[in-house]
Structure 1
Amino acid sequence: MDKLPSTEQVSAIIRSRSSIFPAMYTDEPISEEVIMDLLENANWAPNHKKTEPWRFKVIRGAALQRLADFMGSTYKSITPQESFSEMKMKKLSTNPIKANTVIAICMQRDPAESLPEWEELAATAMAVQNLWLSATAYGLGGYWSSPGLIAHLGPFLNLAEGERCLGLFYLAHHQAPEIPRERGDVAAKVKWMKE
């Protein structure tokens, strides 16, 4: 086994992970080997009863334009006139093509329902965290988007029976400035029970 990273290296990656948005993306390519490495790390997420519920649809190349067109036209067709936003439609229609890769985050429910659904949702979220931390280690930017029209992506993604989309993970090289990271004091969120 290769030498494990130091605790300092692991902490640095965890604490530097951040949402990097499409406005900061560059057009530098990402190899399929890197994408597969991210997904392989995602595949090692913990999951109860070994259901491995995460599923990923990797959208690249011309499929990014198809996704952008689908999202824009779907938003236009399902949004009541009084709620329609030209700015939102433009964002939905352009963000996918700013990314090098969009990964649809999907969950395949255990057909036997041998465990509560929330556990499979949590396992899928942990797989995404593995993917995100790996992307950070590669110097890539990304963010997990859950657009309001997520429930309408099934036809585009060709989802299987019992599978649903939980969001889109945008991924690209970026030119974001260093982003200040803030969290409240962990001591305020921890209660020690020693007796």
Structure 2
Amino acid sequence: MNFNPEWLNEVIERRRSVYQQQYTGERVSDAIVNQMLKNANWAPTHKLTEPWRFVVFTGDGLLRLAQFQAEVYKKVTSNDNSFKEDRYQNLLTKPMQSSHIIAVGMKRDPKKSVPEIEEIGAVFCAIQNMYLTATAYGVGAYLSTGGVTYFEDAKEFLGLGPDDKLLGFFNIGMPNRDMPHGKRKPIEEKIRWIDK
């Protein structure tokens, strides 16, 4: 294998969360989204459980997602008097700004005793693979854990069972400008070497 490590380093450093207000409205190719998902499938996974599950919304599917999540939000928050009209309207309209939205779930395998945190970690590794693929193709993306992510009522619609988890919504769109380099504190502040 003959890889270019400098290219990989650049892709990792250039990865950014690119939000819906930074999208042009241009549709991302389904082929690129499919490649993102193929690369997600190569994430590390303990006992090969492959716990990641994806539901891709695009076209009229975005409207279906918007209506579903707004109604779930209204139903759940009406019970505890925490309903906010502006949040409801946001759930109805914001998905339409993305080219694609991928609901990301973690599916438990009852036959394999893998700690839940390891399964969640595997799914987040899959998400990172999608982020890096998006960056390599010049596509904007970000993971949202807002909306109905933590509402039990949202899981069935997405094919998840009671022991599974909805981990968020991966938004995809064409960025309206080049994304600047990000900022990180020096890695030396976060490492302790023990060599004796």
TM-score scaled by length of structure 1: 0.90
* 8 Å Cα contact 1:67-1:156 kept in structure 2: no
**Deviation readout 1:60-82 (Å, 9 max, x if unpaired):** 11111011111222222222586
**Deviation readout 1:32-88 (Å, 9 max, x if unpaired):** 221111111111111111111111111111111011111222222222586333332
Q: Secondary structure at the match of 1:171?
A: strand
* 8 Å Cα contact 1:72-1:90 kept in structure 2: yes
- C-alpha distance in 1 between matches for 2:147 and 2:58: 22
State the AA in 2 paired with 1:86: E
Q: Secondary structure at the match of 1:103?
A: strand
Aligned to 1:86: 85
Determine whether 1:117 maps to 2:139: no
Shift of 1:90: 2.4
State the AA in 1 paired with 2:95: P
Which of 21, 36, 42 is the aligned partner of 1:44?
Answer: 42
Aligned to 2:6: 8
Aligned residue runs from structure 1 range 12-161, under 5 A: 12-80=10-78, 83-150=82-149, 151=151, 152-160=153-161
State the AA in 1 paired with 2:117: W
- Per the alignment, do residues 121 and 24 of structure 1 end up closer, same or farther by CA in structure 2, a change over 3 Å counting? same
- C-alpha distance in 2 between matches for 1:127 and 1:182: 23
State the AA in 2 paired with 1:184: K
- C-alpha distance in 1 between matches for 2:21 and 2:86: 14
State the AA in 1 paired with 2:83: F
State the AA in 1 paired with 2:84: S
- C-alpha distance in 2 between matches for 1:32 and 1:138: 12
State the AA in 1 paired with 2:12: I
TM-score scaled by length of structure 2: 0.90
* 8 Å Cα contact 1:101-1:172 kept in structure 2: yes
Detail structure 1 runs of 4+ shifted over 4 Å in the superposition.
Answer: none
Shift of 1:160: 4.6
State the AA in 2 paired with 1:76: K
Unaligned runs of 5+ in 1: none
Q: Secondary structure at the match of 2:194?
A: coil
- C-alpha distance in 2 between matches for 1:63 and 1:49: 34
- C-alpha distance in 1 between matches for 2:85 and 2:92: 10
Q: Secondary structure at the match of 2:7?
A: helix
Unaligned runs of 5+ in 2: none
The count of corresponding residues between Structure 1 and Structure 2 is 193
